[in-house]
Chains A and B, each alone.
Chain A
């Protein structure tokens, strides 16, 4: 089976005004996504996860460009598409859910118009069929009495409802892939839990694949099948969520897992020393080496290559293959 999405050695660079400085926001990443699967793309702010998503949907800001690599979606090469062709893919086949539901809804249009738009353009629905479809979509995201609420405007809705409406818009064109960029960051915990349950249900009903961009490992644990950990523009570890939570190979993944508080546990948290690097001035060798508890001389000089640990598990770390995971984890959390 060919995967739904196959990203190979993607490089996205930002060039400063005048072209004097180049920032490699995404620097050679590869991953695949099958139909109905959920991939968690995790990392800290500035690690390139949002740039990866914008590269896929072809919405990079003017300073950014894809400098190399391929993005194959349903067998079609997206990097070679014109902007007109991309417009037919966005909304119809790939939809996006953004972080801030207030900024991603237009305050001047009714909920009906905004939810109807993708179905109107991409599914050519009109009149009563379209109205029915909008009501169905709103009902599927649990908006009470959709016949009335679809005439409302975004300001008449609460934050949780607005985010659910953004979800309805994403589903409206009948996409195969939804890219959700930190969709619950601004929501309260109980609203977040409701929203995540809802996304799971929608995925089960429609079979849509989801890329979940987040810095929250709890969301990954709940929602995702596989995860890709990004650091300084590279995927440093990629594998099934269960494998990575049970015995991550890369020290950054282990450190992230050790730094989150577990409910009811008073164990001291593992604090990662230092702070995330500036992409314009990356450390030599492995970008994580200044913060890494296991760094060796080789890490300072050479960039680690990808090591495979089984069919669907890779990590970029010189030490990973040599060091038994359990021992390293104990050391990290000691």
Chain B
């Protein structure tokens, strides 16, 4: 197996929150990400799914160095990125880029498309203006836009085209990994497939890796090679995408699959096995964090934190049922 592009080990992020009155102030911790491990291979898409508040966006922010992890390491092509400085740090920032959910708020309305896409080049390279112009035209063509749209402003584009511009900006610096934070959720249904297909095409031609964050299991499973499922800050299951859909092991993954909407009215409908809502990350349940909603919880689940281990080849799960 080749060396992974990105390897995350024991990643933790706790956010402090003040509780109590003015005099009895004390600090509690929101455990947003708790000991998450995964690796992304070259030309691979790793899907990251979970419900709101499960820590998937925090994980993305940690990888993008927008937040400093409380503990753990992030390795990029072998180097620990938390220790990078100067040129090496700039190289990392160049190689790892992001596309956000809402292309209406992630592109500056005052900048021309050319300047939006060229900005990373101006920061990271000493290319001449002519070279930059050429590179911008090249990436615009890569994402399926005409090079002559470079002089327009974002408001002149539809949502799907804006998301293409955001992808072009993320690609312009010879990127190796793009963090895609729900890149199609804000788009019209008829446009989503365009963007998904474009992303797959770019991966096939450029060999770029994706961390694809989403909550729609069918969509994430479609584009991803492997899928990591998060619940309340913990990574509960990680497996090959088709394997995960066919043989989900963790009761939470099983519930997500049941909750997924059918593709046809004749698909059989099971009732959801889990009740209630995600507990507060401020006071997560003891032991396995899912035990309060789990239909198969045992006394042990409330006491012992399950460790994620291989239950099948390339299929790991954090659940006492499979110990």
The chain A residues found within 8 Å of chain B, CB to CB, are: 44-45, 158, 160-161, 188-194, 197, 215-219, 221-222, 241-242, 245, 255-256, 258-266, 268-273, 275-276, 291
Residue of B nearest to A276 (CB): B188
Known contacts A190-B272, A194-B272: A221-B262 contact under CB 8 Å:
yes
From A158, A189, A194, A260, B263 is in contact (CB under 8 Å) with A260
**Min CB gap A125→B, angstroms:** 30
Interface residues of B in 242-300 (CB under 8 A from A): 242, 245-246, 255-267, 269, 271-272, 274-275, 277-278
Say whether B190 contacts A44, CB under 8 Å: yes
Residues of A within 8 A of B52 (CB): 188
Residues of chain B within 8 A of A272, CB atoms compared = 190-191, 193-194
CB distance from B231 to the nearest CB of A (A): 10
What are 25 A-B residue pairs whose CB atoms fall within 8 Å in the complex?
Answer: A161-B277, A188-B215, A189-B51, A189-B217, A189-B259, A190-B256, A194-B272, A197-B272, A215-B189, A218-B261, A242-B266, A259-B190, A259-B193, A261-B219, A263-B217, A264-B241, A265-B222, A268-B197, A268-B200, A270-B193, A271-B193, A271-B196, A272-B194, A275-B161, A275-B191
* In the complex, chain B residues whose CB is within 8 Å of the CB of A188: 51-52, 215, 278
Is B221 positioned at the interface, with any CB of A under 8 Å from its CB? yes
Q: How far is the CB of B146 from chain A (nearest CB, A)?
A: 14
Decide: A222 near B277, CB < 8 A? Known: A272-B193, A276-B190: no
Interface residues on B, range: 35 or more
Q: A271-B194, A272-B194, A276-B190 are in contact. Are A218 and B272 (CB under 8 A)?
A: no
> Which residues of the other chain, A, contact B258 by a CB distance below 8 angstroms?
193
Contact A261 B222 (CB under 8 A): yes
Contact with A along B205-228 (1 / 0, CB 8 A): 000000000011111011000000
Instruction: Note all chain B residues with C-beta closer than 8 A to A259.
Output: 189-190, 192-193
Task: Return the chain A residue nearest B195 by Cβ.
Answer: A271
Give me 18 other A-B pairs in contact (C-beta within 8 A), A188-B51, A264-B246 excluded.
A160-B277, A190-B255, A191-B51, A193-B258, A218-B261, A218-B262, A245-B264, A255-B190, A260-B263, A261-B196, A261-B219, A262-B263, A263-B221, A264-B221, A264-B241, A269-B222, A271-B194, A275-B160
Quick one: which of B196, B263, B271, B278 contacts A197, CB cutoff 8 A? B271
Q: Would A158 and B277 count as touching, CB distance under 8 A?
A: yes
Q: Quick one: closest B residue to A273, CB to CB?
A: B194
**B125 CB contacts on chain A under 8 angstroms:** none
* 10 nearest A-B residue pairs (beta carbon): A218-B261, A193-B259, A264-B245, A261-B222, A269-B193, A259-B193, A188-B51, A272-B190, A271-B194, A271-B193
Task: Enumerate chain B residues within 8 angstroms of A261, measured Cβ to Cβ.
Answer: 196, 216, 218-219, 221-222
With A268-B197, A271-B193 given, is the CB distance from A221 to B265 under 8 Å? yes
B67 to chain A, nearest CB (A): 23
- Contact status A275-B218, CB under 8 Å: no
Give A267's nearest chain B residue, CB to CB. B222
Which of A158, A161, A189, A194 neighbours the largest number of chain B CB atoms within 10 Å of its CB?
A: A189
Tell me the minimal C-beta distance from A110 to chain B in angstroms: 21
Summed over the interface, the residue pairs from A and B with CB atoms below 8 Å come to a total of: 124
- Residue in B221, B222, B246 whose Cβ sees the most chain A Cβ within 10 Å: B222
Listed residue (B160, B194, B265) with the most chain A CB atoms within 10 angstroms of its CB: B265
Residues from chain B with Cβ under 8 Å of A222 in the complex = 261-262, 265, 269
- Cβ A264 vs Cβ B242 within 8 A: yes
Q: How far is the CA of A197 from the CA of B255 in the complex (A)?
A: 14
Question: Is residue B158 within 8 Å, beta carbon to beta carbon, of the partner chain?
Answer: yes
Q: Which residues of A contact B277 (CB under 8 A)?
A: 158, 160-161, 191
**Chain A residue at minimal CB-CB distance from B255:** A190
CB distance from A230 to the nearest CB of B (A): 12
CB neighbours of B246 from chain A (8 A) = 264
Contact status A218-B193, CB under 8 Å:
no
Chain B residues near A269 (CB-CB < 8 A): 193, 196-197, 222
The distance in angstroms between the C-alpha atoms of A264 and B256, with both chains bound, is: 13
- Known A158-B277, A193-B272; judge A216-B190 contact (CB<8 A): no
A260 touching B218, Cβ below 8 Å: yes
Min CB distance A278 to B, Å, is: 10
Given contacts A191-B277, A263-B217, A275-B158, contact A218 B263 (CB under 8 A): yes
Contact yes or no, A44 B189, CB < 8 A: yes
Task: Give the chain B neighbours of A260 by CB distance below 8 A.
Answer: 189, 193, 218, 263
**Does B189 lie within 8 Å of A190, measured CB to CB?**
no
Distance of A321 from chain B, by nearest CB (Å): 24
Q: Contacts of B193 on A, CB cut-off 8 Å?
A: 258-260, 269-272
Residue in A190, A194, A262, A268 whose Cβ sees the most chain B Cβ within 10 Å = A190
A258 surroundings in chain B (CB, below 8 A): 193
Nearest B residue to A261 via CB reads: B222
Contacts of A242 in B (CB 8 A): 265-266
Q: Which single residue of chain A is at the shortest CB-CB distance from B161?
A: A275
* Cα A194 to Cα B271 with chains together (Å): 8
**Contacts of A189 on B, CB cut-off 8 Å?**
51, 215-217, 256, 259-260
In the assembly, what is the distance between CA of A197 and CA of B261, in Å?
12
Task: Return B53 CB to nearest CB of chain A, in Å.
Answer: 9
C-alpha gap A309/B51 in the complex (Å): 42
Nearest residue, chain A, Cβ from B278 = A188
* Chain B residues closer than 8 Å to A192, beta-carbon distance: 259
Is the beta-carbon distance between B265 and A275 smaller than 8 angstroms? no
Closest residue of chain B to A142 (Cβ to Cβ) is B275
Taking a contact as CB atoms closer than 8 A, the residue among B51, B190, B191, B219 that contacts A190 in the complex is: B51
